[in-house]
Structure formats: C-alpha cells, structure tokens
Chains A and B, each alone.
Chain A
C-alpha cells in the first residue's frame, strides 16, 4: 500500500467565540476522516449547507489553518508539523486553491496575467519573463484560453467564466496533484457553469490531478464527482460513490437534501408538489 495523497484522520476544528467573560466554543468540524489515493486521481465532492464546516475543512487541507484535533496528512506528512518557507513552497507546488468568486480573488487593479507570472516565478523556478510567459501560456492552453487573450487584461475586462478559467490555469502552473475548489461555480453564470464543471473532469483525466470539489449544488456534484461526502453541522453524515449516494441516499438529512433540489421535471410531474400546485388548493379550503 503506497502512501495516500491526502488523508484526514478524525479531524476537528473548534473556534472560540463570544466575549471576554463568556467564552463559547463552536465545533465547526467534528471527527472527519477520508482518504484520497495517490494512484487514482478523482473528483471528490464535499457537500453541505452553509455552516456545515465544508469551508473550514478546505482551509485545513490548504494549510491555511491548523486542525484542533486529529491530523491532516499530505503524502504522509502532517501539515501541522511542516515548518519554514521551503516546506511551505513545496506544499504549494502540490496543492493549489481555486476560490469562490473570481472577481474578489483577483485584485481589480492588477492585470490578470501578472498572477500567472508570479506563480510561475515563485513555484516553478522560472528565471525570466519569457520562461514565466511560457509556463503561463501552457497552463492557459489546458483550460482553453491563451496568453494572447489575457495579456495585459484587467479582471473587469473578462467574463466570470474566463476569469475563473484563468484562476484554474494559475493553479495548474506548478503541476499540482490536488486542487481544492471551494464553491468554484456559485458565482458563475448559468450558461458558463457547465464549461467550468466539465473542465474539472477533463483535468482529472488529462493531467492526473485530484480535485476536492466543495459545493452545495447536488446536481453538478452528481454530474462530475466520483465520490462524495455529505456534511451537516461539522459531521459527515453519509459518504461513498457519488452516483450511489445521490441516487439512493440513506441518511435522513441526505434524503431531505436531495428532495429539496428543485428540478424542472419535478415541477409538473409530481402532483403532490406543494410548491407547484398544492398550496392553492389547501388555502382555498380554509378560507371563510
């Protein structure tokens, strides 16, 4: 058995809240364990409502905060034990983030291509501008863009879809083995959303990169992920193969979640659907 890419061993995260005299402890993540194998890249989805601890989990995997309990192991190394700049850079070559809102992730006053060059220089050892440009262009090709389209552009000159693809290209420059995407499509327009989501699948196959896809959107998770975990109030309530779990959820919360997804068919096929039909009838009956 080789060393897994990412292993979470009963990880917990507690935040202290309240005032000086009334300390309250909020457990945002409780006893979460899962493993991503190194040999088989996959899209691993973490699903949960707001406040379920999925973003806290992402921050711990990215090494942006440390776990209060348990261990986060990346290729067998405990993230809490890594120290120093070179260890941090090594880690950043392997694990890269993609954030929710590309318009907020990029500074509006900085040209987008600057981010790509900076990543290339810091993480791949590109020594001069032409090497940095070559690395940036190669990464942009992977996401269906090119440097000629992006050179000198400011974030407001690009559409949300282009900007999010540029963010993904930036993350790909060091050749990472894990991307952590926290709600990457929730700010993207409907007509472009599937382009980004399909891109994750392609990247997994083409570049052998695993993707931790954090979302509250069950439908896209179903479309692209291999395995999922469903979280509620910091705890994993259900996990397993994405298709199996979403087709036949077992836990009451997963069932509730699935039933709450609005579908186009459900609007008319299901006559008991209160939203579409039932309310009018039931209120008419009680009116004086």
Chain B
C-alpha cells in the first residue's frame, strides 16, 4: 500500500479583494510531502510560518478568504484507494471525519464545550461513527478513557472541573476513540507544563503504536520533535524547507534555518551562550524574492536573492531546499 497521505504542489492563499485589487497572503506555497502508514510525522515552524494553514487545508477545514489555489491532498484510508479530499461530497466528508481523519486541537481549555458534560461531547462527536447502541458505546468510551488513565466519572464532569492535563487527555480520547487511521495533532502540549507534557506525549506515542495510525504532529518545540516523531518537516514562511528522518535531521541539519533552530535550544548543564536569530519572519503578503530565508541567512549568496531553491534529495530520505546545501556548504 502507498502512503496514507500524499500532498502534491499544494498552494493555499488567503485572497482578499479591496476595491477591486487582489491581495494574496501565500500561507502555504507549493508544498509536496508524503506521510506513510504507522508513522509520526512532525511539522515544525514558528508562528506565521503557515503550519496551521497547512493542516487546516489538509483537513479541508478551510473557509474563505482561505482558498486552495492549486495542488491536491490525497488520502488513502485502508483499502479505499487514494482520493482527493476536495472531491469528496459533503456526506462522504462527514463520514470520513472522526472515523478516519481526526484532530487533536490546540488549547484544550477552549475546545470542550464549557456548558456540556464530557459525556455529551463524546456522544456529539463519536456516537454516529461507532454504530453501537448507546450503552455499549458508553462502555467503549469508558474503556478507552481507562486506557488514558482517566476514571469513568470524568464523563459526568464539566470541563472546568478537570485539570489542564486531564482536559488534554480528554481531547486525545475524543480524537482517538474511533481508532482513526490519521490523526492531526496541533500543538497539543504547548499549554501544559513539563511534567504533564511528558505524560501526554507518552500517551500519544503508545496509542499510535497500538492503533497503527499515522500522526501529523505540529509544534514549534524542537525538543518534543526529537523525542516523539519519526520524520520531521521544517516550514519557513509558507514553504517546506527541509524534511528528513528526525534523527538524521538533528544529527546533520542541511538548511541554515533548521541548524539555527537546533542550536539555539538551551540545555541544562550546558553553559555555551545561545543566540537568537536576527530579523523577523517575512510578511507573507510580499515575501522576499528568491529564497524566503535569505534576509536572515548567515550563508546567503547572490543566487539566493534571485532564484527560489527547489527541494532536492541530498541523502536518502533527506530533502532540502537550499542553494548552499546543494553546493555542499553545511550550516
């Protein structure tokens, strides 16, 4: 079987018309990637790098002014063959969501309905996908909660009665109770403190292994990627700039931006000074010509200002879009 998700040349722009002039924000610009079955694919990048827009586009959770301009998002759920999610009819999409494609959302504080008990959230989201009678469904939910070390009486609680870590586990339980083939996780641990974060990450890892699902895991925290993901893609200003197996990427980053992200991580017990990167991420409404990283890049050459680098596979499974790397210059 092929990859579970193939994104080809995807372009998604925010298109706004002011008095007849079109203003475009190219938040996702020509992204091509594949996600295999049974793997955790990490996506890293800072805010305004387009990573949230990318996952929204992949999940077909977009509305104007965000439009897909070009490209395809093909999902191949078990035995169904690859299909572009944008060609599905509304009932097909509804049947796919949550059953095959689910979403662990950012900020568990805000995604659960504050005036409904957790049980109702489970019924709202998952009941119709499970084709079980209600008592059996609730038993199944309780069993699944037990799997995530949550007691069954959580179902009768309101979200505000639970701690941050418990709430995040509830959203994970919601997203995984139907045993979906593909899970998108958008910064699920960013709001949590370190002790809780580690527990939640272990849980995501364990569930993924047991269910054999694929996970697209988005966070800007490189330490989380190092500990969780199998492969890692780095986004900068709407483009994918580097992609490799996580371990290879950390051992030898080829793109200067990736190298900076890894080197600037402070570590306990290491006293060498760390530096931030000068400048700021570009405005996506008028990105710099050529390589979008060149105004901040320590290795910038003349060619970087004129030609946009293309993704090249420089080592097995290791793709990078950088003129310097293509000439063998390492960051």
Contact = CB atoms under 8 A, between A and B. Distances in A.
A274 B201 CA distance: 11
A219 B267 CA distance: 5
Contact of A194 (B227, B269, B274): B274
Contact of B265 (A160, A162, A264, A273): A264
Interface in A40-89: 49-51
B194 A279 contact: no
Contacts of A195: 275-278
B250 interface: yes
Interface residues of B, number: 45
Contacts of A207: none
B120 interface: no
A266 B274 CA distance: 19
Contacts of B276: 161, 191-196, 198
B144 to A, nearest CB: 16
Nearest to B281: A159
A275 B205 contact: yes
Interface in B252-290: 257, 260-262, 264-269, 273-278, 280-281
Interface string B187-230: 00000111111100110011001100000000011111011100
A266 B227 contact: yes
Nearest to A259: B198
Given A195-B276, A275-B205, A246 B226 contact: no
Contact of B194 (A194, A196, A198, A257): A257
A262 B223 contact: yes
A222 interface: yes
Q: For B205, B247, B261, which residue has the most chain A Cβ atoms within 10 angstroms?
A: B205
Given A49-B193, A50-B164, A192-B276, A267 B227 contact: yes
Contacts of A256: 195
A162 B280 contact: yes
A264 B206 contact: no
B260 A191 contact: yes
A276 interface: yes
Contacts of A162: 280
Contacts of B265: 190, 219, 264
B263 to A, nearest CB: 10
B46 interface: yes
Given A189-B47, A194-B264, A223 B223 contact: no
Contact of B250 (A189, A192, A264, A274): A264
Contacts of B262: 264
A275 B194 contact: no
A148 interface: no
Given A263-B223, A276-B227, A279-B209, A191 B46 contact: yes
Nearest to A161: B280
Contacts of A218: 194, 268
A162 B283 CA distance: 14
A220 interface: yes
A275 B266 contact: no
B202 to A, nearest CB: 5
B224 to A, nearest CB: 6
Contacts of A220: 266
B261 A246 contact: no
Contact of A275 (B202, B210, B221, B269): B202
Contacts of B192: 50
Interface in A214-251: 216, 218-220, 222-223, 246-247
B110 to A, nearest CB: 15
A23 to B, nearest CB: 18
Contacts of A273: 227
A267 B226 contact: yes
B161 to A, nearest CB: 13
Nearest to A279: B206
Nearest to B276: A195
Nearest to B280: A159
A204 interface: no
Given A161-B280, A262-B227, A190 B220 contact: yes
Given A161-B280, A189-B47, A49 B221 contact: no
A276 B205 CA distance: 9
A22 interface: no
A285 B47 CA distance: 41
Nearest to B228: A275
Interface of B: 46-47, 163-164, 192-198, 201-202, 205-206, 209-210, 220-224, 226-228, 247, 250, 257, 260-262, 264-269, 273-278, 280-281
25 contacts: A50-B164, A50-B193, A51-B163, A160-B47, A189-B47, A190-B220, A191-B260, A191-B264, A191-B277, A192-B276, A193-B276, A194-B264, A194-B276, A198-B276, A216-B193, A222-B267, A246-B268, A258-B268, A262-B194, A262-B198, A263-B223, A264-B265, A267-B227, A274-B202, A275-B227
